[in-house]
Structure 1
Amino acid sequence: MILEVAILQVKANQAANFEHDFNIASQYISSIPGYLRHNLQKCIEQPNKYILLVEWNTLEDHTIGFRQSAAYQNWKQLLHHYYDPFPTVEHFESVFQNPL
């Protein structure tokens, strides 16, 4: 499993619109083979800052399967104009997990 992490800085006074459009855009990312789940969290201290966590089966499911898809074009059209600056996206793999 690969974890995609993006810190999203949303333009001032656009948080509510962003959250609305993110809800719509979620259908596009979740339609991609290899997608597992995603989670958007809002920062308490900085209300225009979010963290997006997406779990993929493989790195290629994100970098090729999603980013080279028509679904990504819809995602991009709905969301990319909200960001300032444009987010850096990084990928992580687990090296330790505490069994509950």
Structure 2
Amino acid sequence: MILEHAVLNVRPGRSEHFEEAFGRAKSIIAGTSGFRRLTLSRCLERADTYLLLVEWDRLEDHTEGFRQSPRYQQWRELLHSFYEPFPLVEHFVEVHRA
């Protein structure tokens, strides 16, 4: 399992619209082969900051299967205009669990 991690800094005053758009966008990514689940969490200390965690079967399911698909273009159109700056997306593999 691969865990995708992105801190999303939403333009000030746009959080409500971002959350509405994300509500529509989540079905786009969920239909991708290799997608397991996602969580979107809002930061308590910084209201316009979110943490996106997405679980994938394999790295390629995200980097090739999703990012190189028409689904990603729909995702981009719904969400990318909200970010400032554009988020760094990184992938992790589990080492320990408690």
Verify same fold: TM over 0.5: yes
1-structure distance, mates of 2:24, 2:17: 11
1-structure distance, mates of 2:67, 2:15: 24
Q: CA deviation at 1:97?
A: 1.4
The runs of 5 or more residues in structure 2 that have no matched partner are: none
1-structure distance, mates of 2:82, 2:37: 22
Q: CA deviation at 1:55?
A: 0.1
SS in 2 for 1:47: coil
The runs of 5 or more residues in structure 1 that have no matched partner are: none
2-structure distance, mates of 1:17, 1:7: 17
Partner of 1:81: 81
CA distances 1:11-33 after superposition (whole Å, capped 9, x unpaired): 01000000000000001100000
TM superposition outliers: structure 1 runs of 4+ over 6 Å: none
Give the TM-score normalised by structure 2: 0.99
Number of residue-to-residue matches in the alignment: 98
2-structure distance, mates of 1:36, 1:69: 17
Q: CA deviation at 1:81?
A: 0.2
1-structure distance, mates of 2:97, 2:41: 21
Partner of 2:48: 48
SS in 1 for 2:80: helix
